Amino acid sequence: MKRTLFEPEHDLFRSSYKKFLEQHVAAHHAEWEEQNIVDRGVWVEAGKQGFLGMAVPEEYGGGGVKDFRYNAIVTEETTFGGYSGIGFTLHNDVVAPYLIELTNEEQKQRWLPGFCSGELITAIAMTEPGTGSDLQGIKTRAVRDGDDWVLNGSKTFITNGINADLVLVVACTDPEKGAQGFSIFGVERDMPGFERGRNLDKIGMKAQDTAELSFTDVRVPAANMLGEEGMGFIYLMQNLPQERLSIAVVAAAAIERSLEMTVQYCKDRKAFGKPIGKFQNTRFVLAECATEATAVRIMVDKYIEQLNAGELSVQEAAMAKWWTTENQVKIIDRCLQLHGGYGYMKEYPIAKAYMDSRVQTIYGGTTEIMKEIIGRGLDL
């Protein structure tokens, strides 16, 4: 499908980022998968070349351009390459809006230059052992004590959790106020009482460090609160649509990559004396997958336009998140089936795509939660 989303400057940016991946990621990603973590050096190199903090104002070292199309290019090319360990998307798409929009001048000067240079890796900690999509169930507690907030609790499934130098932690600051009782704190690497647990052993996205975090009487300076006290839940609701669209961008790219490699496999693989792509069943399956891939792409590109215009609703972001990721899981499963036994072998990229895809319908809000959000918006 011919895309009309990008301008010539975006194409140049894409070419530069593809070159970066070829030079600094391609030869190392398999090793990072074995180690279950990406080398920090690749973050610094990405920062040098301008692939971190594209929306951050130039005075803090960023690109100074608020245009989600640049974010989408980074996500797409990372996905096209199968480099699922690189946490740039979390950094650029999920954390950046909080640091750009909610920080005061002192915080901006303290955090944003390192954010853009790759020397300050970030994460956001919402999920807890007993709290997933139900964010109002967060139990991590922050209590004011003089010029500090004393933080206690634990988080889990935190992307970039091992490498992160700054973690945005969502905590309850007033249990009596319900949704108005949550705040967001910047917890820095060396704060006493802040500990990282296991680098979790996942079935996919093996090179991406995903960790358990614990906070035991961590004294967080009041100067590290983002925005206003009690506004945390509202800030999350404001920023989750971009996070969910970002996940949909991954889904669209993963579908296209898997379909492309499967079409090629069906041209090359022979059975009963001819390429398996010549069999009607194969053509019909791939025709369905190609149609669904095109529909996903049209939806995602349209919603990127709407996000840039400030018009993407919470319900639309939820639609994109659940529908694209469910299609991703389904289509990659069908592509693997066409690979036969080879598709079950980890040496084949389709096997990795299959394992990496499964979490897409879970994180960022499960499919079930997305449907609930959409349903509530229908005024039934």
Q: How far apart are CA 153 and CA 223, in angstroms?
A: 20
Residues classed as catalytic: 243
Give the list of residues 6+ apart from residue 91 with CB closer than 8 angstroms, or none. Answer: 52, 115, 121, 122, 160
In a domain, 41, yes or no: yes
Alpha carbon 130 to its chain's center: 22
157 part of a folded domain: yes
pTM score of the predicted model: 0.96
Instruction: Give the CATH number for residue 354.
Output: 1.20.140.10
Q: 3 lies in a domain?
A: no
Structural domain harbouring 89: 8-120
Phi, psi (degrees; rounded to nearest 5) at 39: -65, 135
Shared domain check, 104 and 12 = yes
Q: Is residue 2 part of a domain?
A: no
pLDDT along the chain (380 residues), means of 10: 95 98 97 96 98 98 97 98 96 98 98 98 95 82 98 97 98 93 97 97 96 98 98 94 97 98 97 96 98 98 98 97 98 98 96 98 95 94
- Contacts with 14 (C-beta within 8 Å, 6 or more apart), sequence order: 6, 73, 77
Q: How many domains does the chain have?
A: 3
Last residue of a domain, one of 179, 204, 229: 229
pLDDT at 229: 97
- How far is 72 from 133, CA to CA, in rounded Å? 24
Domain end call among 68, 92, 120: 120
Q: Is the separation of the CB atoms in 304 and 74 below 8 Å?
A: no
